[in-house]
A and B are shown apart, each in its own frame.
Chain A
Amino acid sequence: MKKLLLTTAALALSAGFAMADTVRLGTEGAYPPYNFINDKGEVDGFERELGDELCKRAELTCEWVTNDWDSIIPNLVSGNYDVIIAGMSITEERDQVIDFTQNYTLPDPSAYLAPSADVDVKSGVIAAQSGTIQASYVASSGATLVEYATPEESIAAVRNGEADAVLADRAFLLPVAEEDAGLELLEEMVMIGGGIGLGLRESDTELKGKLDAAIQSMKDDGSLNALIEKWEIGLTF
């Protein structure tokens, strides 16, 4: 065990020398199970484990940074961090501003969470986090959209009756529904987005290549599927 630790440490060090620059990973830290802040105050979750593994495979030294969802793309583009790893779905609109690696989750259906099953999601008041694929879906669906800055606030809006239901990734809503007897997932689901990928600056083609290869290798040996199952993210590859 000790030897193993030493080897990893030596590997990490040599990798550090080869790549003098740290790759900074930007995340939101408020979207369990994808990413959240644990009791120790550190970033944790599916994307934490995934990011650490990807960095190891791509032989990069990585550092975690949290950033508000609203300004997560502007801060990437201006170079405050190098990668967005925050449950961000690959969409046409975002792809015009930043670049994405290949997806590391399959498109996950978005689900509605509501106090009762008889909510009409076509005409009711639906909450969503601003700047998400769910928000733009609700806006075009004919329902009244209310937007919130954080995922937590969008759920609180349903709890206190400001909205009839909240639309978000199913993997995020599932643990909430299981713990709160007053809320349930509706049967109706919508397929939006093209899966989640890492967001990068369009000029960072070299880094993109490395991370793409790392994701591919995790897909090939099944370790990505193991992580998806562990954190109950949805369908496996």
Chain B
Amino acid sequence: MFAFCSDPANLDGLAWLSCYLTTSKHLQLYYAVGTVLLLLAITAPAALAFGFGGAMAARAHIAPVRWLGKAYIAVVRGVPDIAFFLFFVIALDQAFEWTRHQILCPDWDQPIRQGNDFVVCQAAKLPLGSAPQWVHETYGFTLAVLTFAIVFGAFAANVLFGAMRAVPRAQMETAEAYGMTRRQAFWRIMVPQMWVYALPGLGNLWMVLIKATPLLFLLGVEDIVYWARELGATANPRFTEYPHGDWRMWYFLGLMVFYLGFTRISEVVLERLMQRLTLGQATTGGEAQRKAA
């Protein structure tokens, strides 16, 4: 990075540290921070969308839709995350490839399952075997977002389902008395009011999601915990220009500060949001705000 870094063995103190912290390997750690933040930024709304869909399905009046919604919530909540990540993602990837295989290579004569192997024609590979590495990484990232969204969506669905039931029945009855249709009452009365009941549960989910990102490495996406472990590992002078002992403690301390800072900011934001949502609601919080005003 810097010109004076050409011979790190002769450096010490701050100069050494500034060189050490700007090696290409460290840049990948900083890059991984961006990956994790991007993942959270995409996954959170996606999971909320899955949750909303799941909750709506679970309250549907058409029985099969309701069963589907309930089954989604029950099954996904019941399976351990790590099993879900190992099994589901590979299955999802194979499902995509199988579909492409059926469409793109109709005259393929060999079986797709050969013992343990999953073999599709080259054209059906996803991403294509000839694709550059970044395509593979983006694909892995997309699978990760989708899996996270499905897993956390199930929990969010349960939270939202409960929140919808927590909206006072009187509110809905009033809406009906005003002649609103079911759809109107749902969107105009229930949805705006349910958030205040859902927020504590959703806030918890967000906190768990922040910390769940190391699962990314199971999908081949290198996250911050992977790089902290890799960079903190004992660096033998034979294999690096920056030898050091077992520094994992310091790297994990850095991670701890990062995560604590991040969750603290989240808490502040969630608290503000709660204040905002409580405004004018028929809850004890809303009542307290009304009296204070």
Using CB atoms and an 8 Å cutoff, list the residues of chain A in contact with chain B: 20-24, 29-30, 32-33, 36-42, 44-45, 63, 65-68, 71, 74-75, 77-80, 82, 97-98, 150, 152, 155-156, 159, 175-176, 179, 201-203
Select from chain A the residue with minimum beta-carbon distance to B237: A179
User: In the complex where A24-B129, A39-B242, A41-B28 touch, is A32 in contact with B236 (Cβ < 8 A)?
Assistant: yes
Q: Are A176 and B234 in contact (CB under 8 A)?
A: yes
* Interface residues on chain B, number (Cβ under 8 Å): 43
CB distance from A23 to the nearest CB of B (A): 8
User: In the complex where A30-B230, A203-B114, A203-B119 touch, is A78 in contact with B93 (Cβ < 8 A)?
Assistant: yes
Using CB atoms and an 8 Å cutoff, list the residues of chain B in contact with chain A: 23-25, 27-28, 86, 90, 93-94, 97, 114-120, 122, 125, 128-131, 133, 136, 217-218, 220, 222, 229-230, 233-234, 236-243, 246, 248
CB distance from B216 to the nearest CB of A (A): 11
Q: Are B237 and A39 in contact (CB under 8 A)?
A: no
Q: Pick the contact of A21 from B94, B117, B130, B248 — CB < 8 Å?
A: B130
In angstroms, Cα B116 to Cα A98, docked, is 8
User: In the complex where A37-B230, A65-B133, A74-B86 touch, is A202 in contact with B25 (Cβ < 8 A)?
Assistant: no
Closest 7 CB pairs of A and B: A21-B129, A152-B233, A41-B25, A41-B24, A40-B24, A203-B117, A203-B114
Inter-chain pairs besides A41-B24, A175-B236, 16 sampled, C-beta below 8 Å: A24-B129, A32-B239, A39-B25, A45-B239, A67-B220, A74-B90, A75-B220, A78-B93, A79-B97, A79-B119, A80-B220, A156-B234, A175-B238, A176-B236, A179-B238, A203-B115
Query: Which residues does chain B contribute within 8 Å of A38, judged by CB atoms?
Result: 25, 239-240
In angstroms, Cα B1 to Cα A40, docked, is 11
Select from chain B the residue with minimum beta-carbon distance to A40: B24
Query: Which residues does chain B contribute within 8 Å of A71, judged by CB atoms?
Result: 86, 218
User: Can you list 15 A-B pairs with a CB-CB distance of less than 8 A?
Assistant: A38-B25, A41-B28, A45-B239, A66-B222, A71-B218, A74-B90, A75-B220, A77-B117, A78-B93, A78-B94, A97-B116, A150-B229, A152-B229, A179-B236, A202-B117
Contacts between the two chains (Cβ within 8 Å), count: 106
Query: Which residues does chain B contribute within 8 Å of A33, judged by CB atoms?
Result: 238-239
Q: Point out which of A24, A33, A78 has the most chain B C-beta atoms below 10 A from its C-beta.
A: A78
Q: Pick the contact of B133 from A63, A152, A159, A201 — CB < 8 Å?
A: A63
In angstroms, Cα B7 to Cα A80, docked, is 39
CB distance from B86 to the nearest CB of A (A): 7
Q: Pick the contact of A77 from B118, B136, B220, B239 — CB < 8 Å?
A: B118
Q: Point out which of B217, B220, B243 has the most chain A C-beta atoms below 10 A from its C-beta.
A: B220
CB distance from B73 to the nearest CB of A (A): 28
